[in-house]
Amino acid sequence: MCGIVGYTGPREAYPIVLKGLKRLEYRGYDSSGVALLNAGLKVYKKKGKVADLEEHLIGKDLHSNTGIGHTRWATHGEPSDRNAHPHISPTGKLAMIHNGIIENYALIKKELISKGYSFSSDTDTEVLLFFIEDIQINNHCSLEEAVRIALKRVVGAYCILLIDQNDPETIIAARKGSPLVIGIGKGEHFLASDASPIIEYTKEVVYVNDYELAIVRPDELILKNLGNEKVTPYITKLDMELAAIEKGGYDHFMIKEIHEQPSTIQDCLRGRIDAQAGTITMAGVEQNIDKLTNAKRIIMVACGTSWHAGLVAEYIIEELCRIPVEVEYASEFRYRNPIIQEGDVIIAISQSGETADTIVALENAKEKGAFIFGVVNAVGSSIARLSHAGAYTHAGPEIGVASTKAFTGQLTVLTMVALKIAKAKETITNEKYLTLLQELEAVPEKVAVILQQAEQIKSIATLFDKAGDALFLGRGYNFPVALEGALKLKEISYIHAEGYPAAEMKHGPIALVTETLPVVFIATKDSYHEKIVSNMQEIKARKGIVISIITEGDAISPTLSNATFSIPAADEIIAPMLSVIPLQLLSYYVGIAKGFDVDKPRNLAKSVTVE
Ligand code: G6P
């Protein structure tokens, strides 16, 4: 939530900051702004998307070699020009941008008001900035020192960038809970919420840690902790190509990312799985195999789509490894004093690796002694670093706000982890193990076959033209897929949709069935198939619109459906990786038909760094 960018060096800062904001717009898009230093401080901001800011700035003097920019997802105060960042300090000398939430801002604001300050926005950010300047003036100290003092009083999460007109080549940055990456160029530095604004200039980056403060100048990067001790920057090489963060000829990131899945799943399997040799190589699992096989319980902690991946994994791990699994919403888990016992393993699932609730849930569990295994997409992210061990999903940068390729990457990793544990525990027969390895290896090709028929989904999407609601029903491994299908449709087309276990439909949702209600069945051939066909009949009898995702060769389901989409046959454990693809396409095409911005759906943000 909220994207931040900064630059200091010999180049023009504005074009770099603007391009960076466009790359980070997935993090929030209700207003944006820039602050530039050049013979004084200039701040420009605008409600709306980054393109609105860009248009607003045509013809303005934007010359500057040091600048910061922000794209906002509103927390405190409505989206508006005045609540947009950067904010300016009372003297007009400092500008600051912020990603996160200052929880005790109201108390600090009260103190500042009693000192005579008045505020021009409703934001917590402006309060922190005023507080910093107040400390600087009263303590006669450097800005760096004032930031340090202020942050010691702050409760909450932040990544802040500050510039000072009296020090025009310096950016001061600090983080706790919200991400910050610093790119190291030759005589220049780039700062951003993730590496995407940096990648085209340098591959050398430093991921700033919590409670660290960075003093960034063109030819100098000083990292310190809040105790004013220097910290050695740990330089990492980015393993990401520019093409991965561009649309590459597609109309939207979402459809590009859906179509990337044959290769992202392949990337996830590559170097790990060898069906012929019967091996899966995953260092994070191998090095901790005792902890994983002896786990008394596995707790999946995640949010959103990643939580759905956890639900699929629950079915797989319980079936293959015979270990009890619980799947927890991170936001609930962190607040309810969960029972964590010795021998519990937490599997944290996150695309961004920066979701605030998941991070805190893990910190709490870690403190209580749990072993944390991270299944993360964003390399070097907070959750990846917080985990004791893990496995990356290798799906590449996911920019469309609705998660697609990250989900199939998560399923791929979690299935491999389950297979490795099951093999080590001997809870799987060798035959089943080898079959599943082969099935996994075949997934990229099967996904490619599904995507070749993507056009068929366009006509299925027309069945949603008049729909205000929709139901998604599945059983067993496909039940979480039904939840994911409903979530995707909600996010992208704003149609109210619910996912249900197909049998549970009789306990309520069936009351909604009318001639205009689309009911999507995920009805691939599995051990529950006959049962779900009966459920289809029940909807058909009540004149609902039946749409079914079926296995090739199923002759019965089409007779009960208004529309069907066939996918290649697969073992039921593997099926979710295939059956979710038509549902991703469906939400995309329904959203497009309605004329919505599918990459930046209303009110959503990709990386939820506030709780
Ligand atoms: C947001 C995104 C979802 C994502 C969820 C969890 O809601 O829009 O696509 O599934 O956060 O994010 P994470 O990065 O932890 O997987």
Given this model, what pLDDT does residue 265 score? Answer: 97
In this structure, the answer to whether residues 369 and 270 fall within a common structural domain is yes
pLDDT of residue 78: 86
How far is ligand 1, taken at its centre, from the CA of residue 236, in Å?
A: 25
The answer on 57 and 206 residing in a single domain is yes
Strand, helix or coil for residue 64: coil
Nearest ligand 1 atom to alpha carbon 378: 14
Residue where a domain stops, chosen among 215, 244, 273: 244
Instruction: Compute and round to an integer the Cα radius of gyration of the chain.
Output: 25
- Answer yes or no: is 446 within a domain: no
Angle at 238 between CA 233 and CA 243, to 5 degrees: 150
Cα(76)–Cα(234) distance, integer angstroms: 34
Domain end residue (candidates: 212, 244, 276): 244
Q: Say which DSSP state 86 is in.
A: P
Look at the alpha carbons of 39, 44, 50, 52 in this order and tell me if their dihedral is positive or negative: negative
**What is the structure's pLDDT at 308?**
98
pLDDT one-digit tens code per residue, 230-263: 999 999 998 777 777 888 889 999 999 999 999 9
Q: Note whether residue 279 is domain-resident.
A: yes
What pLDDT is recorded for position 240?
76
Atom of ligand 1 nearest to the CA of 352: 14
**Do 406 and 520 share a domain, yes or no?**
no
Whether 229 and 187 share a structural domain: yes
- Residue 406 CA to ligand 1 center (angstroms) comes to 10
Q: Is residue 34 part of a domain?
A: yes
Residue 606 among the catalytic residues:
yes
Q: How many CA atoms are closer than 13 Å to the CA of 476, on its beta-carbon side?
A: 19
User: Which stretch of 11-20, 245-254, 326-335 has the lowest confidence by average pLDDT?
Assistant: 245-254
- 340 & 370 share domain: yes
Average pLDDT value for residue range 589-605: 90
pLDDT of 467 over the 80 cut: yes
Where does the pLDDT of residue 380 fall: very low under 50, low under 70, confident under 90, or very high at 90 and above? Answer: confident
Is residue 50 within 8 A of residue 29, CB to CB? The reply is yes
Residue 81 burial (CB count, 10 A): 14
Select the more confidently predicted residue: 404 or 338: 404
- Residue 345's contacts (CB-CB under 8 Å, 6 or more residues apart) are 291, 292, 295, 297, 298, 299, 370, 371, 373
Question: For position 247, what pLDDT does the model report?
Answer: 84
The verdict on 225 and 277 lying in the same domain is: no
Tell me if 210 is assigned to some domain: yes
Whose CA is closest to 319, among 593, 543, 526? 526
Same domain? For 124 and 89 the reply is yes
CATH of the domain at 303: 3.40.50.10490
Q: Which residues contact 118 (CB under 8 A, 6 or more apart)?
A: none
CATH code, domain carrying 120:
3.60.20.10
* pLDDT reported for residue 600: 87
Domain count, the chain: 3
Asked if the structure places residue 611 within a domain, the reply is no
Task: Say what percent of the chain tops pLDDT 70.
Answer: 100
Q: Distance (Å, rounded) from C-alpha 200 to C-alpha 373?
A: 32
| Domain containing residue 534 | 451-605
* Catalytic residue selected from 176, 405, 600, 606: 606
What would the mean pLDDT of 20-48 be, rounded to a whole number? 93
Point out the ligand 1 atom lying closest to the alpha carbon of residue 383: 15
Higher pLDDT, 119 or 246: 119
* Per-residue pLDDT band at 440 (split at 50, 70, 90): very high
Within-domain flag for 610 = no
Q: Which of 202, 217, 244 is the last residue of a domain?
A: 244
Return the pLDDT at 246. Answer: 82
50 three-class SS: helix
What is the pLDDT averaged over residues 475-488? Answer: 97
Are residues 271 and 240 located together in one domain of the fold? no
pLDDT classification of 197: cutoffs 50, 70, 90: very high
**By alpha-carbon position, which residue is closest to atom 7 of ligand 1?**
304
570 vs 401, more confident = 570
Average pLDDT over residues 131-150: 97
Three-state DSSP state, 571: coil
Angle of CA points 333, 334, 337, to nearest 5°: 80
Identify whether 237 is a catalytic site residue.
no
Which value, to the nearest 10 degrees, does the dihedral of the CA atoms of residues 393, 440, 477, 381 take?
Answer: 0
Asked whether the beta carbons of 405 and 395 are under 8 A apart, the reply is yes
* Angle at CA of residue 148, ends 144 and 152, nearest 5°: 170
* Residues 161 and 298 reside in one and the same domain: no
pLDDT of res. 551: 97
Judge if 142 and 228 occupy the same domain.
Answer: yes
490 lies in the same domain as 388: no
Cβ(16)–Cβ(589) under 8 Å?
no
Residue 140 lies in a domain: yes
Pocket test for ligand 1, best of 25, 26, 178, 305 (most atoms within 8 A of CB): 305
- What the block records as the tokens of 39 is 């013979």
Question: Cβ < 6 Å from ligand 1: which residues?
Answer: 303-306, 350-352, 355, 358, 401-403, 604, 606, 608
- With the CA atoms of 323, 324, 328 and 334 taken in that order, what torsion angle do they form, in degrees rounded to the nearest 10? -90
Q: 85 and 9: one domain?
A: yes
